[in-house]
Structure 1
Amino acid sequence: MANAIWNALEGVREVEITVTGRRTGRQISHPVWFVQEDDNLFLVPVTGSDSQWYKNVRRTPMIQVAANGTALSSSVTPITDATQVEHVVDLFRAKYGAQRVNEYYPKHDVAVQIPLG
């Protein structure tokens, strides 16, 4: 399965994430930007720790990531250490451009790690 998701992510600029609503228990999907490093996928919520999907994965730390018809369900690890978050944001800047990341991500106090292995 890991190879399938790696192949599905090749050349993709955004993925569809599905999280469990913390109040409703319903599945909620959003398109998001992502970066890969080693055997992990990293996400940065647009409004940081205020993002609804981030609050949802804090309550239920499971996520589904889908790209090109392939989906992976995995646990998530919230990242709150400022140095680690900044590293992920730097990866976003390298992939999407510093100006766009700075425009679209006004608050980056957290990130999310998703193992792909």
Structure 2
Amino acid sequence: MSTEAIMDAFDGEQEVELTVTGRKSGRQISHPVWFVQEEQSMFLMPITGSDSDWFKNVSRTPMIRVAANGTAVNAPATPIIEPDQVDHVVGMFRDKYGAEQVTSYYPKHDVAVQVPLG
């Protein structure tokens, strides 16, 4: 499937199913998460920032799966910790979900995650 087709499959969705490998258990753990797309990447933001278990899991085992609308992608996730880059992702989340929602649901935004889609 082409990168464009993958991005189109996720376009219009409000959330994706994120599957990570537990850093202690080694089990596959899935959660619905909000996301945004830019260029050929998907960006995720953990609700509790760097304190989030799924972010800690991704930091330990970066291979993840994101799925929605019958499309699934297995890809290496790259943690984003540089403040300007995190702020850019936060801005994209505000544009998609609304500033109030992002402020309400994301009390700590010190990290994000980039997932290549192609």
Q: TM-score, normalised by structure 1?
A: 0.97
Per-residue Cα deviation, 1:72-108 (whole angstroms, up to 9, x for no partner) = 0000110000010000000000000000000000000
1:41 CA drift (Å): 0.3
Contact 2:7 2:40 in 1 (8 A): no
**Poorly superposed stretches of 4+, deviation over 6 Å:** none
Gaps of 5+ in 1: none
Query: Does 2:43 correspond to 1:42?
Result: yes
Gaps of 5+ in 2: none
Match of 1:109 in 2: 110
Q: Distance in 1 between matches of 2:111 and 2:74?
A: 21
Residue 66 of structure 1 aligns to a residue whose secondary structure is strand
Q: Distance in 1 between matches of 2:95 and 2:8?
A: 21
| Deviating more after overlay: 1-10 vs 96-105 | 1-10
Query: Does 2:6 correspond to 1:24?
Result: no
* Number of residue pairs aligned between Structure 1 and Structure 2: 117
Kindly provide the amino acid, as one letter, of the partner of residue 13 in structure 2.
V
Alignment of 1:20-99 (within 5 A): 20-99=21-100
Q: Distance in 1 between matches of 2:4 and 2:98?
A: 27
Q: TM-score, normalised by structure 2?
A: 0.96
1:4 CA drift (Å): 3.7
Q: Distance in 2 between matches of 1:72 and 1:18?
A: 10
1:70 CA drift (Å): 1.1
